[in-house]
């Protein structure tokens, strides 16, 4: 294409994105029966009825004006400038979605998105950011309202969240529960802050995301003072009726390109409180890539936490770090760390400087750090250790080859080092690699830096008792799981049946129905398709599924009683299914017993 024509084409494309010229109605399979439309001004106005031809202008107004009827609110391409305060509590799942992924941009000099006691909201396909230097507070914040209404049943999927100039990227705190953060990209928080600050919350899932920093790419100086990618803690105790963040799952994420201070990639506990700040937290199937020259303290840290599990993670590369795997220590009034399990992980530093610090002096190698007396019941089991041709370090916190009853010491045969890494930065309309979706970037990074071959010594060595049922790409692990985050493909390339989990058994009310939290995954064979279907196996009445072809859906019931519901998945050749029991109670079931 001649350069002048190319320039004209690019200019038109950019203008179209700004004014929303490219917005077309999504395919009928993507729409709900209830839908509204939003566009930047002047096409959009909050005085409009919110139709495709007469859209609203702001997210805040849309959240107030939309019907509570499982609606989808579509956002046309363009930049939406300004603060959005959301307080609506929907009874039905309500979706806020960009028509074209990452082309609807929410930005402000404060938080573009503040959620205060919200319920049943789903956000998908946005780019969310501060407007530029001088912006204040976080990019996104979620908490409870009036000390009564918790923010709950909220999902963030497939968004690009970046460049806070003052604080965290996403602060989730003081009364938040049942939130899923899935398949997003996070980069560049403010000085001395985190990507995600999970503080005083419960029942949170953080999965399938990419976390990295690239301050230079945003025209910013790297101060070297930023903190964790994720911290899970509780700063205010019982003030929000939740003592300690609990039941948090951090799984199938990628962390890379550390540009912070000497902190950990991921942290549980932190603020020196006299109670367990983090409880029942699972870190599994994560890929941590050591590709930066900037010193990190360690991969994981625990400070005043209990029941913390690290399983099937892969930590690869020369971090460099003060300790390669774990810090278990106390600050302030912290209780002693209790019940830490490290199992089925791969710890691989091919340079032989595992935990050797900035100087990379092998004589200073450390696997873990902290006073052993600060931890009660630290268990290592069936991990793979590789420190190039040098010995596995045996200080300070623990000597892994002594503490681990079944260690594997061998080169896991991970791909070549991450020196040639292309950062997953969104340059619009594509990522720096040329990919167009977050999922493509996720798979690229996993296959480039986390893949083990079928002849790896990690293959088939994991203990199934600890192993997640799927790997970092969502593929079933089977009866002989591999160590680390990646499950090697079967040597013969045979198609495997999909993995299906219909979710936990539930108790629901007849008036509210149930939110089914199923999950399905496949190995991509034979053609990359996976069809899902919810059906009723048994029960005293009829069941209406809001989205019967989606793993997660609402279900309404015509009568009280016990129902068996089935989630089925088919890849075109093989199929699988799993059932969930839903007990539906009527309002009378909650009436108090009166003795006469």
CATH code of the domain in which 300 resides: 2.160.20
> Could you say which residues of the chain have pLDDT below 70?
1-32, 417-419, 489-493, 587-596
177 assigned to some structural domain = yes
Check residue 528 and give its pLDDT.
81
Check residue 490 and give its pLDDT.
63
Do 286 and 371 lie in one domain? The reply is: yes
382 assigned to some structural domain = yes
Do 181 and 252 lie in one domain? The reply is: yes
Do 282 and 415 lie in one domain? The reply is: yes
24 assigned to some structural domain = no
What is the distance between the alpha carbons of residues 81 and 216, in angstroms, rounded to a whole number?
Answer: 24
Check residue 487 and give its pLDDT.
95
Return the closest-CA partner of residue 326 out of 312, 315, 335, 317. Answer: 315
Q: CB-based contacts of 269: which residues, under 8 Å, 6+ apart?
A: 232, 233, 276, 277, 278, 302, 303, 304, 305, 334, 337
Do 144 and 265 lie in one domain? The reply is: yes
Strands 245-251, 210-212: parallel, antiparallel or unpaired by DSSP?
Answer: unpaired
**Residue that the structure tokens 């803690």 belong to:** 233
140 token code pair:
């996104």
Do 389 and 521 lie in one domain? The reply is: no
**Residue 513, Ramachandran bin (φ over 0: left; ψ between -120 and 50: alpha; else beta):** left
480 token code pair:
């002989």
Return the closest-CA partner of residue 141 out of 65, 86, 202, 61. Answer: 86
- Residue 359 is given by DSSP the state T
- In tens, the pLDDT along 254-308 reads 999 999 999 999 999 999 999 999 999 999 999 999 999 999 999 999 999 999 9
- Residue 532 is given by DSSP the state E
Total tally of structural domains belonging to the chain: 2
Strands of 349-411 (E only): list them.
368-369, 375-381, 384-386, 408-409
248: β partners: 204, 281
Check residue 6 and give its pLDDT.
34
288 token code pair:
């941590």
Return the closest-CA partner of residue 26 out of 77, 93, 100, 78. Answer: 100
Say if CB 520 and CB 530 are below 8 A apart.
Answer: yes
332 assigned to some structural domain = yes
Return the closest-CA partner of residue 207 out of 532, 438, 458. Answer: 438
47 assigned to some structural domain = no
Do 542 and 442 lie in one domain? The reply is: no
- In tens, the pLDDT along 10-32 reads 333 333 333 343 456 665 444 45
What is the distance between the alpha carbons of residues 560 and 579, in angstroms, rounded to a whole number?
Answer: 19
Return the closest-CA partner of residue 368 out of 354, 358, 382. Answer: 354
Q: H or E segment at 92?
A: strand 89-98
The CATH code of the domain that includes 540 is 2.60.40.10
Say if CB 367 and CB 347 are below 8 A apart.
Answer: yes
What is the distance between the alpha carbons of residues 596 and 583, in angstroms, rounded to a whole number?
Answer: 30
Strands 375-381, 196-207: parallel, antiparallel or unpaired by DSSP?
Answer: unpaired
Check residue 20 and give its pLDDT.
40
Do 147 and 237 lie in one domain? The reply is: yes
Check residue 23 and give its pLDDT.
58
Do 303 and 420 lie in one domain? The reply is: yes
Whole domain around residue 574: which residue ranges? Answer: 499-590
168 assigned to some structural domain = yes
Sheet holding 543-545, edge to edge: 514-517, 552-557, 543-545
What is the distance between the alpha carbons of residues 37 and 99, in angstroms, rounded to a whole number?
Answer: 10
Strands 104-108, 126-130: parallel, antiparallel or unpaired by DSSP?
Answer: parallel
The 10 Å Cβ neighbour count of residue 552 is 17
Do 430 and 535 lie in one domain? The reply is: no
How many residues appear in the chain?
Answer: 596
455 token code pair:
């002849």
What is the distance between the alpha carbons of residues 487 and 453, in angstroms, rounded to a whole number?
Answer: 9
CA distances from 275 to 187, 220, 362 (A): 31, 38, 37
Domain boundary among 407, 427, 449: 449
72 assigned to some structural domain = no
Domain boundary among 449, 484, 519: 449
Q: CA 275: distance to chain centroid?
A: 26
479 assigned to some structural domain = no
Q: CB-based contacts of 581: which residues, under 8 Å, 6+ apart?
A: 505, 506, 562, 563, 564, 565
* 3-class SS of residue 485: coil
CA atoms lying within 13 Å on the CB side of residue 307: 12
Do 239 and 382 lie in one domain? The reply is: yes
Do 367 and 512 lie in one domain? The reply is: no
What is the distance between the alpha carbons of residues 558 and 544, in angstroms, rounded to a whole number?
Answer: 9
CA distances from 278 to 92, 229, 234, 247 (A): 31, 16, 7, 9
Residues 176-209 as b/e (b if ≥16 CB within 10 A, e otherwise) read bbbbbbbbbbbbbbbbebbbbbbbbbbbbbbbbb
Instruction: Tell me the whole-structure pTM to 2 decimals.
Output: 0.81
Say if CB 266 and CB 321 are below 8 A apart.
Answer: no
Do 370 and 255 lie in one domain? The reply is: yes
């Amino acid at each position: 294409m001649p350069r002048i024509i190319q320039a004209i084409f690019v200019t038109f494309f950019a203008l179209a994105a700004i004014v929303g010229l490219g917005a077309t109605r999504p395919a009928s399979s993507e729409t709900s029966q209830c839908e509204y439309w939003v566009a930047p001004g002047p096409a959009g106005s909050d005085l409009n009825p919110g139709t495709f031809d007469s859209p609203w202008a702001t997210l805040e107004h849309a959240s107030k004006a939309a019907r509570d009827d499982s609606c989808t609110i579509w956002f046309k391409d363009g930049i939406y400038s300004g603060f959005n305060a959301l307080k609506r509590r929907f009874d039905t799942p309500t979706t806020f979605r960009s028509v074209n992924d990452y082309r609807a941009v929410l930005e402000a000099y404060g938080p573009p998105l503040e959620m205060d006691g919200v319920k049943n909201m789903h956000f998908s396909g946005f780019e969310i950011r501060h407007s530029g230097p001088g912006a204040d507070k976080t990019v996104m914040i979620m908490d409870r309202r009036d000390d009564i209404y918790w923010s709950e049943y909220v999902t963030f999927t497939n968004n690009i969240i970046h460049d806070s100039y003052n604080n965290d990227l996403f602060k989730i705190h003081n009364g938040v529960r049942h939130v899923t953060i899935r398949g997003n990209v996070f980069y560049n928080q403010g000085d001395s802050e985190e990507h995600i600050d999970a503080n005083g919350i419960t029942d949170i899932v953080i999965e399938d995301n990419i976390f990295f920093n690239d301050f230079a790419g945003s025209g910013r100086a790297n101060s070297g003072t930023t903190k964790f990618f994720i911290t899970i803690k509780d700063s205010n105790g019982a003030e929000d009726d939740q003592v300690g963040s609990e039941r948090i799952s951090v799984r199938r994420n990628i962390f890379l390109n550390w540009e912070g201070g000497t902190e950990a990639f991921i942290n549980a506990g932190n603020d020196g409180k006299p109670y367990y700040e983090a409880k029942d937290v699972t870190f599994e199937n994560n890929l941590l890539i050591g590709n930066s020259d900037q010193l990190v303290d360690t991969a994981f840290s625990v400070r005043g936490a209990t029941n913390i599990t690290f399983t099937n993670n892969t930590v690869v590369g020369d971090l460099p770090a003060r300790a390669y795997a774990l810090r278990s220590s106390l600050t302030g009034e912290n209780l002693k760390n209790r019940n830490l399990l490290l199992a089925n992980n791969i710890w691989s530093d091919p340079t032989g400087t595992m935990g050797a610090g900035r100087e990379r002096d092998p004589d200073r190698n450390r696997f873990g750090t902290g006073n052993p007396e600060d931890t009660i019941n630290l268990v290592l089991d069936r991990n793979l250790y590789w420190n190039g041709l040098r010995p596995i370090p045996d200080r300070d916190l623990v000597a892994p080859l002594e503490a681990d009853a079944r260690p594997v010491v061998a080169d896991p045969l991970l791909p070549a080092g991450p020196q040639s890494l292309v950062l997953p930065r969104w340059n619009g309309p594509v990522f720096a690699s040329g990919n167009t979706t977050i999922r493509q970037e996720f798979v690229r990074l996993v296959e480039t830096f986390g893949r083990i071959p079928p002849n790896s010594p990690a293959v088939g060595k994991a203990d199934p008792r600890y192993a997640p049922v799927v790997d970092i790409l969502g593929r079933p692990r089977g009866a002989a799981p591999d160590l680390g985050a990646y499950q090697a493909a079967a040597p013969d390339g045979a198609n495997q049946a999909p993995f299906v989990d219909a979710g936990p058994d539930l108790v629901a009310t007849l008036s509210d129905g149930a939110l089914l939290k199923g999950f399905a995954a496949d190995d991509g064979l034979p053609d990359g398709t996976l069809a899902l279907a919810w059906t009723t196996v048994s029960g005293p009445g009829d069941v209406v599924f809001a989205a019967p072809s989606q793993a997660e859906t609402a279900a309404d019931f015509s009568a009280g009683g016990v129902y068996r519901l089935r989630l089925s998945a088919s890849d075109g050749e093989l199929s699988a299914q799993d059932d969930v029991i839903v007990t539906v109670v009527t309002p009378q079931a909650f009436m108090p017993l009166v003795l006469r």
